A and B are shown apart, each in its own frame.
Chain A
Amino acid sequence: MNDAGRRVLRSPPLAAGESSEASAVEAQPAPRTATPRRDDTASKALVRLAASMVPPPPPAWRRILVQISHLWLLFAFIVVWEIVSIFGQRINPQLDVMLPPPTAVVSAAVDLIHRGVLITHIVDSLCRVLIAVGTAAVLGIPLGLAMGWSPRIRWAVDPLIGFIRPIPPLAWIPLSILWFGIGDMQIEYIIFLAAFFPVALNSLAGARDIDTYLLQAGLSLGARRRELFLTVVLPGALPNIFTGLRIGLGIGWMALVAGELVAAPSGLGYLINNARTLFRSDYILLGMVLIGVLGLALDYLMRQAARLIMPWHRGQ
């Protein structure tokens, strides 16, 4: 290993003490096509040299252990919950209803899956959120981008948005029931209202805060306004658009539960509310856990999508 290292250090491009980048061009007569290849072997040898100086990577099972070790508090929480609720029932029998143990939640899930209703609740809720947030994206992203791009549109639309935005989505519930009746449309409307503003306002910020230099560069390279929008403003605003969608999805998910708690024929919020009337607190907890897990999963999917669509962007 050390031999490899010494060979690397003696080889000309690095012995010059220059960055490989500079030497690539400075060596005028040398054919340039040869340079990257030489750099490649040199950098591979350097990687080997670096590897020889640090302890070898831990085996796979240790890495997995490290990966999941930050979950220990969550595990501890579940175990303590189980113990408290099982032993607590001996002291206070009411705890059976007030705090069912995690195992009871699991058996509730198995029970509801067997009866074929749990999947329906999940799918219904997911569909409502996706339809509503999708609509918010379809309307909110273009509006936000237009407002961010054109000060005149922003100037015209700002007062209306500023007026509607502070009204909590939940305050719309009574009116929305009058308009749409009880059902999917009404709940989707509430979720839409909740998700629309974060989506639109983040898109606005993304388009408005594009680096002036990038706009100037585009213009001086001959881009027309439409091209400038498509090649500079839109990609530049993408990170903010994704942030808006993630926030919108999160808030929409909360609004979903609130909407379904008040009036719904199905869904996870309905599951919780219905279980309340039946004193089935294991179902209530199941509904809560599922909402948490699904919210987490949706956010994870959004992050993965962002990484896929914006390979140049880091830190999402």
Chain B
Amino acid sequence: MAQVEVSHVSKVHLSMKGEPFLALHDVNFQVEENEFFSIVGPSGCGKTTLLNLLAGFEQPTRGELRVGGELITQPGWERAVVFQEYALFPWYNVIENVRYGLRRKRLPEPEQRRLVEHYIGLVGLRGFESRYPRELSGGMRQRVSIARALAVKPFILLMDEPFASLDIQTREFMQDELLKIWQREHKTVIFVTHSIDEAIKLSDRIAIMASSPGRVEEIKVVKFERPRDPTNPAIVRLAAEVKHWLRQQVFGSEPAIDPAAAVHSTS
């Protein structure tokens, strides 16, 4: 039995005008333990809705989501979330933010201290323990957020475009760090992103979503050894294939000019 089972999940949202629309339609997939599973798709395809359902922030209109065989009915530490905008508590310093979930779990004080120290070290934030979030850079904030999520020892890490608001250098650096942590900590990661390159660099499998109605169109297996070289021809081909497919999805037709041909004609 897979660790995460999403079966026949549909979700109806209400628009501003109060009209119902299908945010997700008959979504099915399974995620194995310790798998790095990415969800990509154009904006508005229901990626975040899907993650909210997995987190337990919302309930599906039809179908069911299970973790370890149990229905997801509410948020819980076993499915810790890392948000795009970090969602750090501005009134707590780094230590208190990382410690938040440990306090809620009522762990004994020394255990809390040990875990906080361990995870702050793991994300490389020693020396910044007493800073408030607003005194940190974007990359550092996201690392606090990752440490906070890992510290509660979740079974599954849900990440909603965690690196989308970081600059490109920091993003690549954080991707490498995340892979290291993932390999060390043995976690199931469900990773939502709109970047195909990011998904291919990180994931074991990629669910490709399409919009109106939001649905999982295809699940690609990425078999390359890590660390992956983005210039590897096979990876380039895979990325091009997925991008091409997504472009068709979003714009409904072939691109007017084939980008490869355009490069040749102008040179």
Instruction: Report A's interface with B, CB cutoff 8 A.
Output: 18-19, 21-22, 24-26, 32-33, 35-36, 39, 211, 213-214, 216-224, 227, 231-232, 235-236, 238, 310-314
Asked if A312 and B127 sit within 8 Å, CB to CB, the answer is: no
Given contacts A22-B169, A213-B85, A216-B81, contact A221 B101 (CB under 8 A): yes
Q: For chains A and B in complex, what number of residue pairs have CB atoms within 8 angstroms?
A: 94
Shortest B245–chain A CB gap in Å is 31
Interchain residue pairs A-B with the least CB separation, the first 3 = A25-B124, A36-B127, A221-B101
**B132 (CB) vs chain A CBs: closest residue:** A312
- Measured between beta carbons, the chain B residues less than 8 angstroms from A35 are 126-127
> In the complex the two chains form, what is the Cα distance from A39 to B124 in whole Å?
14
Q: Quick check: is B186 within 8 A (CB to CB) of the other chain?
A: no
Would you call B121 and A32 a contact (CB within 8 A)? yes
Query: Does B173 lie within 8 Å of A221, measured CB to CB?
Result: no
Give B84-137 interface residues, CB cut-off 8 Å to A: 85, 87-91, 100-101, 104-105, 121, 123-124, 126-127, 132-134, 137
* B205 at interface by CB-CB < 8 Å: no
Highest count of chain B CB atoms <10 Å: which of A22, A25, A231 = A25
- Is the C-beta of B177 less than 8 angstroms from some C-beta in chain A? yes
Q: Does B224 contact A (CB under 8 A)?
A: no
Q: Which residue of B lies closest to A37 (CB)?
A: B127
Q: Is the CB of B91 within 8 A of A220?
A: no
Q: Please judge, given known A-B contacts A21-B137, A220-B75, A314-B134, whether A26 and B126 are in contact too, CB under 8 Å.
A: no
Question: Do the beta carbons of B55 and A216 come within 8 Å of each other?
Answer: yes
- Cα(A231)–Cα(B169), bound, Å: 34
> What's the nearest-Cβ distance from chain B to residue A19, in Å?
7
Report A87 CB to chain B, min CB distance, Å.
56
In angstroms, Cα B75 to Cα A222, docked, is 7
| C-alpha spacing A223/B102, complex, angstroms | 10
A222 touches B87 (CB 8 A): no
Give the distance to chain B from A316, nearest Cβ to Cβ, in Å: 14
Known: A216-B57, A221-B148, A223-B104. A235 touches B91 (CB 8 A): yes
> In the complex the two chains form, what is the Cα distance from A33 to B121 in whole Å?
10
Q: CB within 8 Å of A: which residues of B?
A: 55-57, 74-77, 79-81, 83, 85, 87-91, 100-101, 104-105, 121, 123-124, 126-127, 132-134, 137, 139-140, 148-149, 152, 158, 169-170, 173, 177
| Bound: A81/B113 CA distance, A | 65
Contact A220 to B126, CB < 8 A, known contacts A232-B89, A314-B134: no
Query: In the complex the two chains form, is A217's CB within 8 Å of B124's CB?
Result: no
Taking CB atoms, residues of chain A closer than 8 Å to B177 are 25
Sample 30 A-B pairs with CB under 8 A, ordered by A number: A22-B169, A25-B123, A25-B124, A25-B177, A35-B127, A39-B127, A213-B85, A216-B83, A217-B81, A218-B89, A219-B56, A219-B57, A220-B57, A220-B77, A220-B79, A220-B81, A220-B158, A221-B80, A221-B100, A221-B104, A222-B101, A222-B104, A222-B152, A231-B100, A236-B91, A310-B91, A312-B133, A312-B134, A313-B90, A313-B91
**Measured between alpha carbons, how far is A61 from B107 in the docked complex, in Å?**
56
**Are A21's CB and B127's CB within 8 A?**
no
**Across-interface contacts of A21 in B (CB, < 8 A):** 137, 139-140
Measured in the bound complex, the distance between the Cα atoms of B88 and A32 in whole Å is 24
User: Which residues of A have CB within 8 Å of B57?
Assistant: 216, 219-220
Residues of B within 8 A of A214 (CB): 87, 89
How far, in whole Å, are A211 and B88 apart by their CA atoms in the complex? 11
Contact flag A32-B89 (CB < 8 Å), given A19-B137, A22-B139, A222-B105: no
Task: Check B79 against A231 for contact (C-beta < 8 Å).
Answer: no
In the assembled complex, the CB of A26 is this many whole angstroms from the nearest CB of chain B, namely 7
On whether the beta carbons of B101 and A36 are closer than 8 Å, the reply is no
Contacts of B169 in A (CB 8 A): 18, 22
| Known contacts A216-B75, A219-B57, A231 near B89 by CB under 8 Å | yes
Partner of B77, one of A222, A227, A311, A314: A222
User: Which of B76, B89, B124, B134 is within 8 Å of A24, CB to CB?
Assistant: B124
